[in-house]
Amino acid sequence: MDFDLTEEQQLLADSVAKFLDKNYSFATRQEIIASRGGYSPLAWEGLAGVGLLGAAIPDAYGGFGGGGVETSLVMEAFGRHLVVEPYLATAVMAARLIATAGTDEQKKYLLPSIADGSMRFACGFHEPGSRYDLGHVETTARQENGMWVLNGVKSVVMHGAVSDLLIVSARTSGKPGDPDGISLFFVNPGEEGVAGREYPTYDGNRAAELIMLNVTITPESLIGNVDKGLPLVELTADRAMAALCAEAVGCMDALNQATLEYLKTRQQFGVPIGRFQVLQHRMVDMLMHHEQAKSMALLAAVKVDSEDAVERRRAVSAAKELIGRSGRFIGQQAVQLHGGMGMTHELAVGHYVKRLAAIDTSFGDSDHQLDQFAAAESARPVERTQFEKPRSKWKQIA
């Protein structure tokens, strides 16, 4: 397999790195977090100006037509700079969902608005008590006088308070836990009956609890087919997880660089502490975990666009499980090697550790991803070779 970037991919990676190096320092991020909205309209405009918001949008709608690899290049750079803009929800999840399942009218209206930065999205797929089960949907949508009426609660809606349009899952038939009977809808957060509570998350982002009480929306708000929305939700979640894996790799890379620089400059007993062999061994372990994580993130980026849902799920779950463990290891080592200052608010190290912890729990932690991998593996039919003898149906008698 050729791991070299194409000319266009390299230009994209260079563009995002150059933009963030110039406009998104750690001090700037701290100011953005402290602001009322929790994101920077100026930075968002800049991301649109260099074309990053349209990286995953088809050419016909003002984007670059990129896929999982292009998204991973952007997200890895975001991880290095701890970007808190609503890029994942808007330019990755919403944009690719609309491009996949939206009607021609939805695509023509919404995708160019995402690419030029004039519209931000949030996705409400989780509910209280559902944990990581995307199929456990208690929010309901019923048809009444030719309209859809939604009732329910959505939890941990990332950047929900600053979104111009919401994408929510609702049950149109069946009961919570059924794979069928889930549909997707656009909901204007300004509609009557929509309320919520915003709160900061411990990694510097913002989320919201969304309450919908008799929210009436038009038939054109439906995304895809009625009752067949769960595969779209799972596809969108897989794309989000692949992007988060790349972001985590960027965080790990930044942590390793900061820790290595600290070992070179921190003096103890008249010499840099990096001279001590035991600390060199720990630094090597950190670098090895990063390289393993980077390889798995690349695998997820390549496989996330696969039409084989089982293959896609296996690759993404395997990558996120390993990256969750690697991020935890690198974060803990970085804090210990920096000493007590590693978790201070003024130093970026602790912020990277918090972000890695948040990424691990997003859409399922390492334990959940192991279960998902096992479930996907058991769903794949076993191909028997011509040399393999079938197992006897009779029990062996000792």
The helix/strand/coil state of 258 is helix
The helix/strand/coil state of 141 is strand
Residue among 91, 154, 93, 94 nearest 124 (CA): 154
Q: Give the pLDDT of residue 2.
A: 60
Q: Calculate mean pLDDT across residues 234-252.
A: 97
Q: Give the pLDDT of residue 3.
A: 67
What are the tens digits of pLDDT across the range 141-159?
999 999 999 999 999 999 9
Residue 43, both tokens: 């930075």
Q: Give the pLDDT of residue 201.
A: 95
User: Does the structure show a pLDDT above 80 at 379?
Assistant: no
User: Does the structure show a pLDDT above 60 at 375?
Assistant: yes
User: Does the structure show a pLDDT above 70 at 385?
Assistant: no
Confidence tier at 393 by pLDDT (50, 70, 90): very low
Mean pLDDT over each residue of the chain, to the nearest integer = 91
User: Does the structure show a pLDDT above 80 at 388?
Assistant: no
Euclidean distance between CA atoms 132 and 147, whole angstroms: 30
Confidence tier at 22 by pLDDT (50, 70, 90): very high
First to last CA, the chain: 50
Asked if residues 330 and 360 have their Cβ atoms less than 8 Å apart, the reply is no
Residue among 179, 127, 121 nearest 150 (CA): 127
Please, what are the domains in the chain?
7-119 (1.10.540.10), 123-226 (2.40.110.10), 231-379 (1.20.140.10)
Euclidean distance between CA atoms 122 and 97, whole angstroms: 12
User: Does the structure show a pLDDT above 70 at 362?
Assistant: yes
Q: Give the pLDDT of residue 390.
A: 44
Confidence tier at 276 by pLDDT (50, 70, 90): confident
Lowest mean pLDDT among 73-77, 257-261, 382-386: 382-386
Q: Give the pLDDT of residue 208.
A: 96
- Specify the pTM: 0.92
Euclidean distance between CA atoms 201 and 100, whole angstroms: 30
Q: Give the pLDDT of residue 150.
A: 98
What are the tens digits of pLDDT across the range 277-292?
888 999 999 999 999 9
Q: Give the pLDDT of residue 27.
A: 95
CA distances to 11, 79, 97, 379 from 302, rounded to whole Å, are 19, 19, 18, 21
What are the tens digits of pLDDT across the range 173-188?
999 989 899 999 999 9
Tokens 């991803």 map to which residue? 369
Euclidean distance between CA atoms 308 and 246, whole angstroms: 21
What are the tens digits of pLDDT across the range 176-227?
989 899 999 999 999 999 999 999 999 999 999 999 999 999 999 999 999 9
Euclidean distance between CA atoms 148 and 161, whole angstroms: 23
Q: Give the pLDDT of residue 397.
A: 39
Residue among 119, 46, 201 nearest 111 (CA): 119
Q: Give the pLDDT of residue 220.
A: 96
Residue 346, both tokens: 């003024």
- Residue type, position 75, single letter: M
Q: Give the pLDDT of residue 59.
A: 93
Euclidean distance between CA atoms 247 and 76, whole angstroms: 4
Question: Percent of the chain at pLDDT above 90?
Answer: 81
